[in-house]
Structure 1
């Protein structure tokens, strides 16, 4: 059996127990990384970790700064310093801007941006001391363009892209790279649940709803989570050591 390119490296994936996070974690395991799944639901995180052969799991609400830091420290106690951090956890809420209360902006910034800040604060000192590290922030095409009715989410994801660029510059001489991956609408359970809710409210067919979702994607399809995972794995490998501060759109040409 050959060893993968990430053999022995400790990778931590936030939001690793659902959707794109599972796909990323599974690919990292396949490349030989010691993967820690971080999820809010400990039962789900444990089940996913066992199913994909991850090294372990920890549980935290990423919006809880102290809880997230403690979970990362627990993972490091078990498997050593984190050398690959994938900030995948996130959430989206929709509302027209004039009906979006300040609390919605606060929630979106807390989950989508502040969690990235907290996790990076936790692992960066160790990466810099080791002279190597990979941080990949899962943003969204909403971090590269605007969308109607999700202004708080768009603002938060744009902030993640900006943070990625700033951190990449600050760490450029340390052996650490920081990049973002920006998927379009992906074929995940969360998207399918959203489609089902829209069906229930409107009576429209699944095909009609999905077609509207992907209308801005020139390929007219939902993104396979595996495509996002493949991009992440490449960014974490040695071949991407000169690639930092970038935001890769995995979106069928929606953003060019």
Structure 2
């Protein structure tokens, strides 16, 4: 029970990678606060996680984050682990990207990190081993066609990770990012649907088009991403900060 007595807040915690991270941290004894826009998937997950608090909030709205974190502290005490997992990806040719779609991508994939990290910062700095882990993407390490806003936002997420790690290096807080490749989640399922609709390919062909980015020839399992998060959150990982851990089957 490596996280006994720890309080972990996980955004986008109801499905996919967020749900896998929540389960992994709870298995190791952490108390959980699950944050997301939709209450129903959060509540469905919480059924299997003892003492998990459901705190619906839009991560792009600072007042909602402040309220959710206040509820979290009231239930479980100071936050010692923050996992920034909420995100969204949409594809379009760059020439068709509108200012509104650009702004939406930045709001959920980058602005939300500002809101959550600032809201949790006093708790994290006071903790004996505060941890911030942001679920970025291989899109934060390289470029992909037709996803310019997402790629730009995830590069920003990686940059913020490195900046915070440098700023707080002399404290007990570490700040890292996990960068999954194409992972078997709803986001990838939506991408497969989009590819199939816009290219006329079947879903199997569309799935194969994404799978081929992984040299191992498969989609990443969310549990694999969760395992990397657990490793970074351990007290023994105190010397690992400002890093981007790619969970991508060798994709570069």
TM-score normalised to the size of structure 2? 0.95
- Counterpart CA distance in 2 for 1:54 and 1:220 is 38
Question: 1:52 and 1:129, CA in 2 relative to 1: closer, same or farther beyond 3 A?
Answer: closer
Cα displacement (A) at 1:73: 1.4
Structure 2 residue 147 is the aligned partner of structure 1 residue 150:
yes
1:43 alignment partner, one of 24, 27, 40: 40
Q: Which runs of 5+ in 1 are unaligned?
A: none
* 2:239 alignment counterpart: 242
Question: 1:199 and 1:97, CA in 2 relative to 1: closer, same or farther beyond 3 A?
Answer: closer
Cα displacement (A) at 1:195: 2.4
Cα displacement (A) at 1:136: 0.1
Structure 2 residue 56 is the aligned partner of structure 1 residue 55:
no
* 1:93 alignment counterpart: 90
* 1:127 alignment counterpart: 124
- Counterpart CA distance in 1 for 2:199 and 2:151 is 25
Cα displacement (A) at 1:72: 1.1
Q: Which region of structure 1 is more displaced relative to structure 2, 169-178 or 207-216?
A: 207-216
Deviations along 1:17-41, whole A, 9 cap, x unmatched?
Answer: 0111000000000010001111111
* 1:219 alignment counterpart: 216
CA contact (8 A) 1:131 1:174 kept: no
Question: 1:101 and 1:189, CA in 2 relative to 1: closer, same or farther beyond 3 A?
Answer: closer
Cα displacement (A) at 1:233: 0.4
What secondary structure sits across from 2:48 in the alignment? helix
Cα displacement (A) at 1:202: 4.9
* 2:251 alignment counterpart: 254
CA contact (8 A) 1:37 1:54 kept: no
Cα displacement (A) at 1:211: 1.4
- Counterpart CA distance in 1 for 2:199 and 2:98 is 25
Cα displacement (A) at 1:142: 0.4
Cα displacement (A) at 1:213: 0.5
What secondary structure sits across from 1:52 in the alignment? coil
- Counterpart CA distance in 2 for 1:193 and 1:14 is 20
Cα displacement (A) at 1:214: 2.0
* 1:159 alignment counterpart: 156
CA contact (8 A) 2:79 2:124 kept: yes
Q: Runs ≥4 in structure 1, deviation > 6 angstroms?
A: none
What count of residue pairs does the alignment treat as equivalent? 252
* 1:111 alignment counterpart: 108
What secondary structure sits across from 1:73 in the alignment? helix
Cα displacement (A) at 1:103: 1.4
Q: Which runs of 5+ in 2 are unaligned?
A: none
* 1:178 alignment counterpart: 175
TM-score normalised to the size of structure 1? 0.94
* 1:141 alignment counterpart: 138
RMSD: 1.4
Cα displacement (A) at 1:58: 0.2
